[in-house]
Amino acid sequence: MSTPAPVQVGSLTLGGNRPMVLIAGPCVLEDLDTACRIAETLQEQCGRLGIPLIFKGSYDKANRTSVNAYRGPGLEEGLRILAQVKERFGLPVLSDVHEVSQIDSAEQVLDVIQIPAFLCRQTDLLVRAGRSGKVVNVKKGQFQAPWDMKHVVGKLASTGNEQIVLTERGASFGYNNLVVDMRSLLIMRQLGYPVVFDATHAVQLPGGNDGSSGGQRDYVGALSRAAVATGIDGLFWEVYEDPDCARCDGPNSLYLRDLPRLLAPLLEIDALVKRL
C-alpha cells in the first residue's frame, strides 16, 4: 500500500508512515470547563501512551436530526473555547465549518478545518477552506464512493493547498444504519493523502432515536482494530466523561475512562503494521 505524504499539524505529523494520531474530544462543545476537563484528561492519557493528540469539538452542529436538538454554543463562543483549550494545553484544535462565511473567523483559531460529510461535495466551501492554507480534513459522505474522493481532493488541491486529510465514517446501509467497507481506507490512501477512521460515527444510527441519532459504542473497539490493521494514519473518536448525559451523539461516544484500555492494543497493531 502506498504511503501518504506527511501532513503537518502543529508539531504533529499525519501520514508518512508515522505513528497514528488520535483526533478526540466531544461531539459538540458545551462550555469551557467541560472542554478543558476533557482536554486535560485526553492529554494525560495520550501522554502516557505516547500517542499524538488533536483536540476536536464542534461549535455548531448544523445537521441535527430535529430542529429542537442542541447545536452548540455557536461560532464566536465556540472558537473562544477552542482558543482557550489551545492556549492552556498546547494542543492543536479541529472543528467543522458549514458555510464559506465561517472560515474567516475559523482560520484564525483552528489548526484543522473540517468539512462535514454531508458537505464534502460543496465546491465553494472546499475551495475557500483550501485557500485558508490550513490543514483541511474532509469527512467522506455517507453517499460517496471512496474513489470519487479524488474529485474532492482535486477541488482542494486546485488552491495550491496540499495539506489534505480524508476521513472515513461509514456508508448508508438501509434506514438508520451505516456500514464500514474497510477497502475504502485503502482506496482513499492511494490518493496520496493521510486517511483517518472515524470509528465513533461509524457506529452511529442516524436518526435512530426518533428525533436524535442512536449508536452502538460497543463496536468502536473492534472496528478501530480492523481499521488500524489496514495502516491508517489516524483515529477519530468522540468522547465524554459520561456519554449518556452528553447533549449530542452520546450513544456512539466513548467513556473517557475507557480510552487507555482501548488504545493500548491499537498502538501495538499500528507499530506492527508500520514496522515502527
Residues whose CB falls within 8 Å of the CB of residue 218, separated by 6 or more in sequence, listed in order: none
Q: pLDDT tens digits for 162-213?
A: 999 999 999 998 888 889 999 999 999 999 999 999 999 988 887 656 555 6
> Is the predicted pLDDT of residue 151 greater than 60, yes or no?
yes
Q: How far apart are CA 203 and CA 215, in angstroms?
A: 6
For all residues of the chain together, what is the average pLDDT?
92
Write down the pTM of the prediction. 0.94
Pick from 199, 183, 263: which is nearest to 231 by CA?
Answer: 183
Q: pLDDT tens digits for 95-140?
A: 999 999 999 999 999 999 999 999 999 999 999 999 999 999 999 9
Q: How far apart are CA 109 and CA 257, in angstroms?
A: 28
Which single residue is written with the C-alpha cell 476521513? Answer: 167
CB-based contact 149:166 (threshold 8 Å): yes
What pLDDT score was predicted for residue 244?
85
Helix (H) or strand (E) holding 225: helix 220-228
Select 7-274's CATH number: 3.10.105.10, 2.60.120.1360, 3.40.109.10, 3.20.20.70.
3.20.20.70
Percentage of the chain modeled with pLDDT above 70: 93
List the chain domain ranges.
7-274
Q: pLDDT tens digits for 41-77?
A: 999 999 999 999 999 999 987 776 667 677 878 999 9
Q: Would you call 145 helix, strand, or coil by DSSP?
A: coil
Residues whose CB falls within 8 Å of the CB of residue 83, separated by 6 or more in sequence, listed in order: 93, 109
| CB burial readout 155-181, b (16+ within 10 A) else e | bbbebebebbbbbbbbbeeeeeebebe
Q: Would you call 123 helix, strand, or coil by DSSP?
A: helix
Pick from 37, 105, 87: which is nearest to 95 by CA?
Answer: 105
Q: What crossing angle do the helices spanning 75-89 and 32-49 adopt, rounded to 10°?
A: 40
Cα torsion through 182, 184, 186, 187, rounded to 10? 160
CB-based contact 203:176 (threshold 8 Å): no
Q: pLDDT tens digits for 206-235?
A: 765 655 566 788 999 999 999 999 999 999
Q: How far apart are CA 185 and CA 228, in angstroms?
A: 10
